[in-house]
Amino acid sequence: MLNQQAESMFLFFSEIQEAKILDSDGFCLGRLYDILIEPIGKYAKAKILIIEKKGLPRSWAVVPWSVVSQVSKGCLRLNGKAREVIFAPLLNHKADLSIRRDILDQQVVDMNNQNVIRVNDIHLLMAEKDLVVAHVDIGLRGIVRRLGFEKFIDTLVRIFDKNSRYLQKLWLISWKHIQPLSINPVSMTIKVDVSQKQLNEIPAADLSEIMLDLSQKHRVALFKILDITTKSKLLCTLDFKEQKSLLEEIGEREAVEILNQLPTDEAVDLLSELPKSNVHNMLRLMESKNAKMLSTLLGYSGESAAGLMTTEYVAVPETASIEEALVLIKEKTPKAETIQSIFIVDQENHLVGSTVLRHLIIADLKDSVRKAAFKKTVSIYMEDEVKKIAFLMDKYKIYCLPVVDSSNVLVGIITIDDIFSRLVSIAWRRSKKKKHL
Amino acid sequence: MGKVKHNSLSIWGRMLLYLSIMGPGIITANVDNDAGGITTYSVAGAHFGYSLIWSFIPIVFALIVIQEMCSRMAVVTGKGLADLIREEFGVKVTFYAMVVLVLANIGNVMAEFSGIAASADLFGINRIVLIVCCAVFIWVLIVKGNYKSVEKVFLVACVFYVAYVVSGFVTKPDWNVIVSETLKPRLQWNKGYLFMLVGIVGTTIAPWMQFYQQAAVVEKGIKLKDYSYHRLDVIVGGFVVNIVAFFIVIVCASTLFKHGVRIETAKEAALALKPLAGPYCYLLFAFGLFNASLFAASILPLSTAYSVCEGMGWELGVNKSFREAPQFYSLYTAIIIFGAAFVLIPNIPLVKIMLFSQVANGILLPFILILMLRLINNRRLMGDHVNTKWYNLIVWCTVVMMIALSLMLLMPQGIFQR
């Protein structure tokens, strides 16, 4: 008995779309056209009901959901009288989240499975007087139901296979994992939901795949609502073409903000793909220290050490003890690209040695850092090419090399992931050529 | 970052930009001259001589106007036509439109494969071998290729349409008559003439083109700031396709019509050309037919699978695996196999099948055009890029003409021929 009651409280939007709207006297006002919802915690609650009166011209009435007294399939009953409801020939609900315009039949992001899906139907829950969006239906059955063939197809399937997956499995996705993609016409961003936080928690690589499934307009709108850390991470995972078009769309100011966040190697890669005039403007808007560094690096070819390196390394003065060094490393860890390799420099930042974190940890805290250093330090010059870098990394089995200028001043580091993608593409081209021969 | 001003580009820079954007417009327009189109144009030339060639002028106009709207929607919204129809008009409209589209396109694909079969006969190749080879080629081309490489193959296929232009000159037509017939049309008010006219318009503007063109533009990722170049692509495409059609009519008019040869198919046209215009003209004509059929047969199944999956919200795209996008691959493969296998059945009534697909096209086209007009005038979607008042007037006139012609196409075939 209880079970039956609970079941009757769930219903699909398709079952009440076009439902008759009756007032307290049973007079028919019109048909249900749309419901505006408002996100509350993990769910979204119906806030406003829109009634459509057919005829020429069509007119609509907007009433708060609180006046609805009874909901059943195909029929809604209101508290008030018909004459209290005012119909207008225009419908204006741009800022709100509308079921019909923003969710039903639209693409939304499923943040649990991290992909873009199309909503076929909406599963609603009637809890006391509130109507709550519980799930979205993305299955074939949702389409069949909307077309009005659900009973017919169900019977047909049952004849062939009683335990068919079509009948057993509901393709419902919980509303709390859904991020609608409708764009606010004023701010041109995705209408923000409570679940926006979740969007920032999706790994950047998955987020970039979601982005690729969207149209350009939605891509930009979605990008805009992310926080700055997610933005810069996401930007790094996109390919040049996508990066460029995104940066063009979001405007110089925001682009600069993101560039400030990016590691120098990624920033240089990005800037080198943009037109010269843009780069100039953006560097001018950047923090002066960062800009100076970037403009120097931009002068080098993207295939050279200077073009590939990052300046976020960990260096300790040669005079420091291991204890002091460890404190320094801890301080620099958040921004550094890697803390595996530690470089030892003199007062003028000349490279005098290198070591690895493992050596420091097992050494005596009172010792000088110089005692933990390798016997020989391999370094590369700013203009060295990828091939030489790869060769050295392979020869000495080191995955992080210091980059020095002509007077042995440490300017940056190259880690294996910086040259990895280049090596893959070189190797790939080569194997392809061989095949052709 | 501001918009890049193209005014600052040199003429060569602009040419380069145009060439990089070129593709969707020209390809879509050329696929139009498929097996069905060539048949219609050949019959028109053979039966009515030069008296129908004036019609290509209004057709160019209508074609460009309609294709331009698709491109504009693609560039502004970044979505395919089926996507937009689903989002704005709901599941019911989309579902029934897609059912008819699939039926119509299966018919179209069969027509293309029968074109391939006909050219196999003309070249003296075994038709079963050629059809199977082509079907496999088409499947592999799309599944193993990406949009860029496929587009290049298609653009090369467009070049081969020159075959018809060359054969037009080979037959040495009377240019004075052609010019006067084009500029001063002499309408004939008999049933056969009007029916032929409807046929020409009907084969030139088909529903699937709108879906394909919009998808291709979206896939190419053309930006709004480059739109003026893309519009040029559409315009050039519209002219090129009609020039080719124009020459097909001329070839048949200057030879077959002059000698009073009656034909029913493109194959008969080619065979009849052999004694009248020489073996070269015959070969060019046959090659043109093969190229056109293969070209259209490559695009139609893909375009159909794309539209349906887009509208129904299924995973799609040739870069997905079968497991990721089962509906897409099943549909794509099924249409090719169905189209190819049907033509191989002996004694199949191909003319009736083509007729059926033309009827389905005719039913669908008015609906699609009206949906397109409603979409393109939706300010929420298009912003400031909705049609202007005058453009709307022109488009509505075009649409009403198209609807009237489609209905006429349905009437005599659907009702009177029974």
Q: Kindly report, residue by residue over B63-121, the tens digit of the pLDDT.
A: 899 999 999 999 988 888 999 999 999 899 999 999 989 988 998 898 889 888 888 88
Yes or no: domain A202-299 corresponds to CATH 2.40.160.20: no
- Per residue in A289-302, is it b (16+ CB within 10 Å) or e — as a string? ebbebbeebbebee
Q: Cis bond leading into A57, ω under 30°?
A: yes
- Find out whether A177 and A193 touch, Cβ atoms under 8 Å: no
Inform me whether the pLDDT recorded for B413 exceeds 70.
no
DSSP letter assigned to residue B383: G
Yes or no: domain B22-379+386-416 corresponds to CATH 1.20.1740.10: yes
- Contact status of A243 with chain B (Cβ, < 8 Å): no
- Provide φ and ψ at B210, rounded to 5°: -65, -40
- Picking from B79, B87, B218, the nearest residue to A105 by CB comes out as B87
What's this model's pTM, rounded to 2 decimal places?
0.77
Report domain extents, chain B: 22-379+386-416
B378-401: average pLDDT:
86
What CATH number belongs to A315-422?
3.10.580.10
Instruction: Name the residue with higher pLDDT: B14 or A45.
Output: A45
Query: Which helix or strand (DSSP H or E) is residue B234 part of?
Result: helix B227-252
Inform me whether the pLDDT recorded for A38 exceeds 90.
no
Q: Return contacts of A332-340, CB within 8 angstroms, 24+ apart.
A: A336/A312, A337/A263, A337/A265, A337/A310, A337/A312, A337/A313, A337/A413, A337/A415, A338/A313, A338/A314, A338/A400, A338/A413, A338/A415, A339/A314, A340/A399, A340/A400
Q: What is the largest distance, in Å, between two alpha-carbon atoms of chain B?
A: 66
Q: State the nearest Cα–Cα gap between B346 and chain A, in angstroms.
A: 34
Q: Kindly report, residue by residue over A191-200, the tens digit of the pLDDT.
A: 665 555 677 7
Report domain extents, chain A: 2-93, 101-179, 202-299, 315-422
Which residues, 6+ apart, have CB-to-CB distance to A426 below 8 Å?
A: A386
- Contact status of A109 with chain B (Cβ, < 8 Å): no
Which of A18, A98, A149, A215 would best serve as a mutation to test chain B binding (most B beta carbons within 10 A)? A215
Quickly count: other Cβ atoms within 10 Å of residue B62's Cβ. 21
Inform me whether the pLDDT recorded for B397 exceeds 80.
yes
Is residue B195 helix, strand or coil?
helix
Which residues of chain B does A149 touch, with a Cβ-Cβ cutoff of 8 Å? none
**What is the radius of gyration, based on Cα positions, of chain B?**
21
Say how far apart CA B50 and CA B254 lie, in whole Å: 8
Inform me whether the pLDDT recorded for B415 exceeds 50.
no
Which residues of chain B does A107 touch, with a Cβ-Cβ cutoff of 8 Å? 313
The torsion defined by the Cα of B349, B350, B352 and B356, in degrees rounded to 10, comes to 140
B57's tokens: 């002028």
- Picking from B78, B313, B380, the nearest residue to A215 by CB comes out as B78
Which residues of chain A does B223 touch, with a Cβ-Cβ cutoff of 8 Å? 216, 245
- Contact status of B225 with chain A (Cβ, < 8 Å): no
Say how far apart CA A146 and CA A133 lie, in whole Å: 17
pLDDT at position A251 is 76
What CATH homologous superfamily does A2-93 map to? PRC-barrel domain (2.30.30.240)
Q: State the nearest Cα–Cα gap between B87 and chain A, in angstroms.
A: 5
Q: State the nearest Cα–Cα gap between B98 and chain A, in angstroms.
A: 13
Which residues of chain B does A91 touch, with a Cβ-Cβ cutoff of 8 Å? none
**What is the radius of gyration, based on Cα positions, of chain A?**
31
Which residues, 6+ apart, have CB-to-CB distance to B130 below 8 Å?
A: B116, B117, B119, B120
Place of tokens 């009005």: A148
A283's tokens: 């560097």
Q: Kindly report, residue by residue over A332-377, the tens digit of the pLDDT.
A: 888 788 888 889 998 888 898 888 888 888 888 888 888 888 888 8
Out of A281-295, B129-143, B311-325, B375-389, pick the least confident: A281-295
Interface contact A118-B313, CB threshold 8 A: yes
For residue A220, what is the nearest residue in chain B, using CA coordinates? Answer: B78
Q: Which of B244, B246, B207, B216 is nearest to B44 (CA)?
A: B246
- Picking from A117, A120, A278, the nearest residue to B1 by CB comes out as A278
